[in-house]
Amino acid sequence: MKQPSIRLDEDAIEHNARVWQSVLAPRLLWPVVKSDAYRAGAVPVARACVKAGAPCLVIVDVDEAAPLRAASIRVPLIHAMATPIEALPFAARMGIVPSVEDEDGARHIAAMAQWKGGVVRAHVAVDTGTGWSGVPAWRAGAFAAAVRGHRGIDWAGAWTHIASEDSLHDQSVAFASAVDAMRSEGMPLRTVHLASTGPVVWGAGGDAARIGIGLFGAAFGDPALTARLRTAVEVFASVVGVKRFTTPTPLGYGGLESAQAGDAIATLRIGYADGMPRVPPGAGSIIVCGARCPIVGAIGMNFSMVRLAPRVRDRVVPGDEGTILGDIDGVRLDEVAQAAGVLPHQLITAFGTALRREPA
């Protein structure tokens, strides 16, 4: 029995990166490749983005730099998390631009700059409402005043995380006030960045945008973006059986739905152990032999079922392949995520964690 698989379309990533560049201009596209690019493969995603002209990449763990550098990816890496003091020497060796959230971090970076006899570029992390990382926005001016005497630091930028569409306005105001306060204390902060994929769609500003899930085709409901982006990850599962029913028969765990007389039901080898989201009854589709077939019954740990569309019901056989996610109407990234009631980020990371990767 063939196990389900996932394939990354590097050409689609490059295409999407170019779309985002045009959407963002004159802002800069800073692709996010954290968590092994949402478990889709940081190296190929990074390679495609650099090919599209990305000037840097964004990571969340300093260890994520090693495979990128081993693959000869040389663009700067922006650490979008306060960089641990003990990781600063490694960050310097790997060409990571560290982030600072307190005076102690600034002091260590200044000491490192003095030791190197040069200048270390750094960004200021500002907490405007997530609590994850950063100088609290209300004390940004005091922070800047406290570190003003440190030599050897190029305060190149500042950033924050936006928690939700509802909080975008208040967080943007708090961030702008924090940036103004730091600049008034002598920090140049040439590049400010607060927007990721969702906040860009919601109207966030800044000089650069950290685009992660948008690289894979997520558009957060923006119809113009949806029309231009391509779903860059494909998930496939094989048909393991086809049954034709002559009487009403419950399907799957809990009998949430039933086959009706005349239905042809195909079972595919993919379930929630493979990252398949547990879609509610009546939601979601799988493409089988080119036809959009509705998912029926509860998603099991290893199996899912579909009601075969009339035009393919008599020709689908075990071994045929179903497309769970791909650049096809009905199973595009946002469509599958919406049907399942999950974020597209969750969808990509779940599949990428569970499934074997096929070469592009």
Give pLDDT, residue 117.
77
Whether the predicted pLDDT of 360 surpasses 80: no
SS3 call for 253: helix
The string of pLDDT tens digits covering residues 40-56 is 999 999 999 999 999 99
The string of pLDDT tens digits covering residues 51-88 is 999 999 999 999 999 999 999 999 999 999 999 999 99
Gap between the Cα atoms of 240 and 225, Å rounded: 36
SS3 call for 58: strand
Give pLDDT, residue 259.
93
Gap between the Cα atoms of 20 and 40, Å rounded: 19
The string of pLDDT tens digits covering residues 302-349 is 999 999 999 999 999 999 999 999 999 999 999 999 999 999 999 999
Gap between the Cα atoms of 216 and 334, Å rounded: 10
The string of pLDDT tens digits covering residues 136-176 is 999 999 999 999 999 999 999 999 999 999 999 999 999 99
Closest to 157 (Cα-Cα) out of 195, 196, 126, 127 = 126
Give pLDDT, residue 356.
87
Each domain of the chain, given as residue ranges in start order, spans 9-228, 233-326+328-358
- φ/ψ of residue 64, rounded to 5: -70, -15
Name the architecture of domain 233-326+328-358.
Answer: Beta Barrel (2.40)
Give pLDDT, residue 47.
98
Q: How many CB atoms lie within 10 A of CB 297?
A: 23
Whether the predicted pLDDT of 268 surpasses 80: yes
Q: How many CB atoms lie within 10 A of CB 136?
A: 15
Say if residues 195 and 207 touch (Cβ distance below 8 Å).
Answer: no
Give pLDDT, residue 116.
78
Whether the predicted pLDDT of 20 surpasses 90: yes
Core vs surface per residue 69-92: b (16+ CB within 10 A) or e: eeeebebebbbbbbbebebbeebb
Whether the predicted pLDDT of 16 surpasses 80: yes
CATH of domain 9-228: 3.20.20.10
Tell me whether the CATH fold assigned to 9-228 matches the one assigned to 233-326+328-358: no
The string of pLDDT tens digits covering residues 186-236 is 999 999 999 999 999 999 999 999 999 999 999 999 999 999 999 999 999
SS3 call for 268: strand
Residue 359: which pLDDT band, with cuts at 50, 70 and 90? confident
- Kindly tell me the burial class for residue 258, based on how many C-beta atoms sit within 10 Å of its own C-beta (0-12, 13-18, 19 or more): middle
What kind and span of H or E run contains 179?
A: helix 168-184
